[in-house]
């Protein structure tokens, strides 16, 4: 299903026709459409602003579970790409959707390239999150005999890390990357007094920020343990991105 906007809109200039990512019924029984703009942000589009030029719906999967049981259809490739979805509002994740829109031949806007694909910007966000998270971990566990901190960096080689290992690296299936990364981070929060949902929030925030680095295919994932830390290593475009969960006495 595709639409064509009736007038110029600031975020819809790169294409003549735009794909409907999903559509369904509101609680009021009115129909809504989800369409991505030129920065891959998926949101509601009002029918008064566009004409449906291709109404074919055979490329959609019915996913009422994403709309509180009400009618909802999700584009088939998006359904395959975003197995993490729990409701349709979560579709709007420009980082997660990069590969999807690349396969759909969407052009990358200058603004998106500068703000969302720029690796330095992403690394800065991760660094900022770690400053806050490590402070939080210190405040929670400062009087414990053992606590952990988190550090993130990248390397051209794993030689130094492998020299320090105390066991063979544990390989992780790339398809399990996100789940394993979240579990790895969550271990640092495991002994706190805060409600578990708060710990999960911090863990998911960091996991999400790190995942934005990998818009294309990940080559390999492994865990490497030394006497001082456990490292979650992601090989991506001939570089190694390392999240270290280090031990503090």
CATH number of the domain residue 199 falls in: 3.40.1460
Nearest to 241 by CA among 211, 216, 205: 211
**One domain for residues 111 and 195:** no
**One domain for residues 79 and 106:** yes
> Measured between alpha carbons, how far is 99 from 82 in angstroms, rounded to an integer?
11
User: Residue written as tokens 């052009």?
Assistant: 107
**One domain for residues 97 and 134:** no
Tell me the pLDDT tens digit for each residue of 202-226. 888 898 889 888 878 899 999 999 9
Tell me the pLDDT tens digit for each residue of 94-114. 667 777 887 888 887 777 777
Which of 76-80, 145-149, 192-196, 241-245 has the lowest average pLDDT? 192-196
Count of the separate structural domains present in the chain? 2
Task: HSE, CB side, 13 Å, CA atoms: give it for residue 162.
Answer: 9
**One domain for residues 83 and 144:** no
Domain containing 68: what range?
2-115
């Amino acid at each position: 299903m595709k639409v064509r906007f009736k007038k110029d809109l600031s975020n819809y200039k790169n294409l003549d026709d735009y794909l409907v990512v999903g559509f369904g019924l509101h609680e009021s029984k009115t129909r809504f459409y989800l369409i991505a703009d030129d920065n891959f942000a998926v949101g509601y589009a009002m029918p008064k602003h566009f004409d449906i030029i291709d109404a074919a719906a055979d490329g959609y999967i019915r996913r009422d579970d994403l709309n509180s049981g009400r009618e909802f259809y999700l584009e088939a490739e998006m359904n395959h790409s975003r197995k993490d979805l729990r409701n349709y509002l979560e579709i709007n994740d420009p980082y997660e959707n990069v590969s999807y829109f690349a396969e759909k031949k969407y052009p990358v806007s200058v603004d998106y390239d500068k703000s969302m694909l720029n690796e330095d910007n992403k690394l800065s966000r991760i660094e900022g999150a770690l400053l806050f998270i490590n402070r939080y971990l210190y405040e929670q566990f400062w009087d414990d005999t053992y606590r952990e901190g988190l550090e993130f960096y990248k390397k051209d080689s794993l030689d130094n890390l492998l020299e320090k290992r105390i066991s063979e690296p544990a390989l992780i299936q790339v398809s399990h990357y996100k789940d394993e990364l979240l579990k790895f981070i969550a271990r640092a929060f495991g002994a706190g007094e805060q409600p578990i949902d708060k710990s999960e929030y911090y863990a998911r925030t960091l996991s999400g920020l790190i995942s934005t680095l990998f818009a294309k295919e990940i080559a390999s994932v492994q865990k490497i343990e030394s006497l001082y830390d456990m490292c979650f290593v992601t090989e991506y475009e001939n570089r190694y991105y390392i999240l270290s969960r280090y031990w503090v006495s």
